[in-house]
Chain A
Amino acid sequence: MVPLAEIRVPARIENLHALIETITGCARQQGFDQKRIGEIDLSAEEALVNVISYAYGGGEGEVSVVCGLDDGGDLNVEISDSGAPFDILARDEPDTTSALDERQIGGLGIYLMKKLMDDVQYRRIEDRNVLTFRVLKKKD
């Protein structure tokens, strides 16, 4: 992967915007339109909030973001942490149909990310959780 940008900071909510902006900055640089950048923005937030909220179970740790271009020239965003193994893609589909009283929101963020990004993968590499999403380059 040809790296475009990276950032490594404590996994805290006050760092969320800096993390997201690293990712949307890469997308902007690659010339994605405003709508697609909005979808990348949302997907980045959902993945990052998950790490910030759950990776370290209330303790401290870091989150890393690397974005770059793969061999095909598509944008790859890699978000990783060194928390306990946790495959967020394995959870059940969220509730998007029940009535107000029964409606639950759990899992909705990851569902949105899976819907909006072209490919989302989870891997456990050594002691790290690595979530990668890919955004296909614009067709000419």
Chain B
Amino acid sequence: MEINTKKTGNILVVSLKGRMDAVSSPGFDGNLLEWTTAGENNFIIDLSALEYISSAGLRSLLSAAKQIKARDGKLMLSGLSGAVQEVFKLSGFYSIFQIFASETEALQSV
């Protein structure tokens, strides 16, 4: 999985690309710790280039949401499609995240 970030105002936009599975998810967890340690509090995680997510990836996103909430931060997800969207629906993840059609819409909401 490729992880790219850019800062827009006080929001860190994180783009995930490829495959978020049991092999790649621990890397994301490590990155999140670095970002929050560096003081980042508000995140958009854009999944428009993510082709695949398994329960290991869901576990990482759930853990991120809990950590960010505990810091009074904000986490938005954007750009879900195809297999990622299907897995989110089956897992009941739509009810626990703020989800936007695109990164632009997520940015406009703040």
A14-69 residues at the B interface, CB under 8 angstroms = 16-17, 35, 38-39, 41-42, 45-46, 49, 52
Residues of chain B touching chain A, judged by Cβ–Cβ distance below 8 Å, are: 21-23, 52, 54-56, 58-59, 62, 65-66, 69, 82-83, 87, 90-92, 95-96
Q: Say whether, besides A100-B96, A103-B96, A35 and B83 are in contact (CB < 8 Å).
A: yes
B95 CB contacts on chain A under 8 angstroms: 97, 99
B87 CB contacts on chain A under 8 angstroms: 42, 112
Chain B residue, CB-CB nearest to A20? B21
A52 CB contacts on chain B under 8 angstroms: 22
Residues of chain A touching chain B, judged by Cβ–Cβ distance below 8 Å, are: 13, 16-17, 35, 38-39, 41-42, 45-46, 49, 52, 94, 96-97, 99-101, 103, 105, 108-109, 111-112, 115-116
Q: Within the assembled complex, what's the spacing in Å between the Cα atoms of A100 and B77? A: 14
B56 CB contacts on chain A under 8 angstroms: 45, 49, 109
Chain A residue, CB-CB nearest to B59? A105
Q: Within the assembled complex, what's the spacing in Å between the Cα atoms of A117 and B39? A: 43
What's the least CB distance linking A101 to chain B, in Å? Answer: 7
What's the least CB distance linking A98 to chain B, in Å? Answer: 8
A111 CB contacts on chain B under 8 angstroms: 90-91
A100 CB contacts on chain B under 8 angstroms: 62, 65-66, 69, 96
